[in-house]
Amino acid sequence: GAAVRMALAYCLTAATLIQCFGNVSGAQTNPAVTLSLLVTRYISPLRAAAYVTVQLAGALCGALIVLGLTPPDWPDQPQVLAVASGVTLTQAFGVEFLATFIAVVTTLAVLDPVRADVGCKALSIGLAYGLGVLFSFQRTGACLNPVRALGPALVNNVWKDHWVYWVGPLFGGLLGGFTYEFVHDSSPHGRFLHRSFRRRRGGQQPSRSGGALGRDVSGLSAATSELLQHPGTEDISTVSRH
C-alpha cells in the first residue's frame, strides 16, 4: 500500500543521506534532530542555526525540483500534508511527537560511540524513520521532519494545520534528546543532565562550559565520520570540548 511505499522511500532516503553526508555534517537534514543535538550540547547555537537555515532552503528547493520534474497530470505532485478526517489536532500532535521521539532516540543511540552493537548505523536510523512512517501515515501523512511539510506547503500555499508538523516533531526531538542523555549515561565522565542533577543535589550549580557534551562544534563531524567507519572505537568524551 501507500504507507509501505512511503516508509520504504523514507527509510532508504534517510539511510542514503546519512551514509553519504554523515562524515561532513552528521547528515543534519531534520530540525528535530538538530534541536536534540543542540539541547544536549553536541552542537553550538550558531551551528544549529546554520543547519536549520540550510534545511529550510533545501526543503523549498526539493519541492520546486519535484514540481518541475513532475508532469501536471501525474498524481505524484508535491503533496501538502494533512491531518486525516476524524483525527483531532491533539491526536495528530501526539502521533508526530511519538514518531519523531522514537526516530531521535534511535539516532542518538546508534551514534553513541560507546556502543559497539549497533550494526549498520545508517540503515538502523533509516528503519526507525520507516517505522515512524508506518505508524503515522494514515493519521497525519507521516512528517517526522518539519521541513518535509514546509516545502509542499510553500509551493502550494496551503497552511491548514501546518503548526502540527512543526510543534509535534520539535517537541519529540527535544524530549528525545533529553531522554537519551538521561537514561543512557554511558560516558565514563557522565552526561550533562546526570551531572547537573547530582550537582544540584549537592548544592552546586551546573557548569555550562565543560563535560562530555560541551564539545567543539567541529568535533561533531569528525566524530560522526569515525563512528560510521569504526563503530565502538571512540569514546564520545574524547571529542574536543568548549
Q: Write the CB contacts of 240 (distance below 8 Å, at least 6 apart in sequence).
A: 215, 216, 218, 219
Higher local confidence (pLDDT), 20 or 190:
20
Q: What homologous superfamily is domain 2-238 in, according to CATH?
A: Glycerol uptake facilitator protein. (1.20.1080.10)
Q: Is 239 helix (H, G, I), strand (E, B) or coil?
A: coil
Asked whether the predicted pLDDT for residue 229 surpasses 70, the reply is no
- Round the average pLDDT of the chain to a whole number and report it: 79
Q: Write the CB contacts of 108 (distance below 8 Å, at least 6 apart in sequence).
A: 36, 40, 176, 177, 180, 181, 184
Global confidence as pTM: 0.74
Query: Which of 3-7, 30-34, 101-105, 238-242 has the weakest average pLDDT?
Result: 238-242
Helix (H) or strand (E) holding 105: helix 89-110
Q: Which whole number is the average pLDDT over 194-200?
A: 49
* C-beta of residue 92 within 8 angstroms of C-beta of residue 83: yes
